[in-house]
Amino acid sequence: MTSPDVLARVTDQMRAVLDTQAELAADAFATDVDLTVMRRRYAAERAFWNEGGPVMAATVDGVVPGPFGPIAIRAHRPVPADHDLPCIVYVHGGGFVVGDLDTHDRIMRTLAACTGAVVVGVDYRLSPESKFPGAVHECAAVVSHLGVHGGELGIDPAHVSLAGDSGGANLAMATTLYLRDEVPGSPSVECLILYYGMFGLRDSASQRLFGGEWDGMAKADLDYYLDCYTTGPADLASPYLDCLGADLSHGVPPCYVAASALDPLLDDSLALATVLDDLGVHRRLRVFEGVLHGFLHHSRMLPEAVQALEDGADFYRGVLAAVTT
């Protein structure tokens, strides 16, 4: 299959982002290097994009108990309040291999400012040190903990949602399904906000057409991330990784699904939206033209990043209004 000239299709602002990335950290997304080097380059590149942005009324770093030991969290409270606020648990992307609370901090702060909710980031253990389904279990532990102890962070435990980008969107959906299936009495997730997620397709038109060294999403990169995360075919077939193969007919909350038109994972989002439609699950699909996978990071320069966060927040507020009136 002949691939299109992806870089000829990006917006001028996206081109400026790519130029800035090249100056910040060459080969920031290369997967053919030592893991320590890869993580250091990724963190260095992301530092610039996390400067500035909304100022929170309070930011609290803490830990909650987890199945493998304490899990670090970061809670962003957007406004002072004399009452508990709803909560969005945010699961960062990075192919399950890179990323942390710092690399996605501005995304979380912006989402908090746009939604009015407390956004709690989860610093789950990365792969290959922690294999599937470890991250799912840790995210589930955080949601369960907040469902009981959220008041300690000024969170209304009756209103907990999940959000994530890329691999984090997969973990957000997988955590919702895992809580539904395996954790009786767990909090009911009210809404999912899913940015350019990987939901289970192993081959698709978008995976064949898009992805390269410019976004770290070539086929070899995608294979690398899955190899780090999984131990074999059984993991790949699990409904907590292959979410499109899961039973989505019940217990799936309203979903905001955003994608990039030039992303190899585009078809994952389109397929998820189609399945949700067929099952009558309330959803909103938004495809952003002219931007690449990972564009949510670039709100310093990219209007589509701000639009995606604002649009997801608008959907979330509508869902919350429906359940509280």
Three-state SS sequence of the chain: CCCCCHHHCCCHHHHHHHHHHHHHCCCCCCCCCCHHHHHHHHHHHHHHHCCCCCCCCEEEEEEECCECECEEEEEEECCCCCCCEEEEEEECCCCCCCCCCCCCHHHHHHHHHHHCCEEEEEECCCCCCCCCCHHHHHHHHHHHHHHHHHHHHCEEEEEEEEEEECHHHHHHHHHHHHHHHHCCCCCCEEEEEEECCCCCCCCCHHHHHCCCCCCCCCHHHHHHHHHHHCCCHHHHHCCCCCHHHCCCCCCCCCEEEEEECCCCCHHHHHHHHHHHHHHCCCEEEEEECCCCCCHHHHCCCCHHHHHHHHHHHHHHHHHHHHHHC
Is residue 242 part of the annotated active site? The answer reads no
Q: What's the CA gap between 239 and 168, in Å, rounded?
A: 15
Which residue is catalytic, options 166, 186, 260, 299?
166
Is residue 149 part of the annotated active site? The answer reads no
Is residue 263 part of the annotated active site? The answer reads yes
Which residue is catalytic, options 104, 137, 293, 297?
293
Task: Tell me the β-bridge partners of 288.
Answer: 260
Which residue is catalytic, options 100, 105, 263, 268?
263
- Residues catalogued as catalytic: 166, 263, 293
